[in-house]
Amino acid sequence: MRLSHFVSILGATLALSLTHAPAMADDAGDKVLTQVDTALNKAKSHYFEYEATTQEAGKAEKKVGLNVWIKAEKRLTEFTAPADLKGTKVLILSPTEMYVYLPAFGKVRRIASHTSDQSAFGMAFSQDDLATQKYSSMYTATVSSSTDKEQKVTLTPKAGQTTPYSKIEMTVGKDKNLPTEIKYYNSEGKHIKTETRSGYSCESDVCTPATLKMVDHTKNLTTTMSRKKWKVNESINDDTFSKRNLEK
């Protein structure tokens, strides 16, 4: 595949860089969002192995294998399958600093931010969707409903923040304070994606979903990521998240 094609795909994984009007604060909603952030970030590190299956209407099913290392906001993804993606690596150091290594070219390239609506490697997920671990710094939240088992909160951007979405509707399970469903809206207020997280399991007080499913309603595209392996709080050298390491 051409380098420009890879770069355009990967560049789209960054935020859409939308600036929105200030949202009204809601103490109860912001408390829920803070609890979600705390639950998402209890671990010092994660290592995952996933199989991602993507289905688009009228097209053959596509599968990719990927290994993911996470430490704080840094994230390294290495593709293990299929053959044409094997060895491809994506390094995220921050929402605005991302690099890709393509084995066919043997070089590390920085990915420029732009507003293309393409998904990462043809998946319904973008890298931004997968990498987001904190919401309360960018969004304020209001509680829209609450039951014994779950709360629903609506997230809107804080004043002066640039965010991937103009609104997020999140369903949070009260047992773990973690999302079970997330609906994403674009700048026109259109519901464009729905993510579900299911099959949570825990190591001590750290919990992650066994299955992540994203539906892109604009493309009739669905990607399901199945967790095959998970290690939590194991030592990960900081050099893992270096540009030099991408070429190894």
pLDDT tens string, the chain, 248 residues long: the values are 444 444 444 444 443 434 444 445 589 999 999 999 999 999 999 999 999 999 998 999 999 999 999 998 899 999 999 999 999 999 988 877 889 899 988 889 987 765 334 577 889 998 778 778 899 999 999 999 999 999 999 999 999 988 889 999 999 999 999 999 999 999 999 999 999 999 999 999 999 999 999 999 999 999 999 999 999 999 999 999 999 999 88
Q: Which distant-in-sequence residues (6+ apart) come within 8 Å of 201 by Cβ?
A: 207, 208, 210
Looking at residue 120, what is its pLDDT? Answer: 78
**Nearest alpha carbon to residue 75 among 128, 144, 136, 153:** 128
Looking at residue 115, what is its pLDDT? Answer: 34
**Nearest alpha carbon to residue 74 among 45, 114, 102, 42:** 45
Predicted TM-score (pTM) of the model is 0.85
> Phi and psi (nearest 5°) for 62?
-125, 140
Assigned CATH topology for domain 3-229: outer membrane lipoprotein receptor (LolB), chain A (2.50.20)
Looking at residue 27, what is its pLDDT? Answer: 92
Sequence spans of domains, the chain: 3-229
Looking at residue 97, what is its pLDDT? Answer: 85
Looking at residue 181, what is its pLDDT? Answer: 98
**Nearest alpha carbon to residue 110 among 31, 181, 32, 6:** 6
Q: Which distant-in-sequence residues (6+ apart) come within 8 Å of 190 by Cβ?
A: none
Continuous segment of H or E residues that includes residue 135:
none
Is the omega angle on the peptide bond into residue 103 within 30 degrees of 0, that is, cis? no
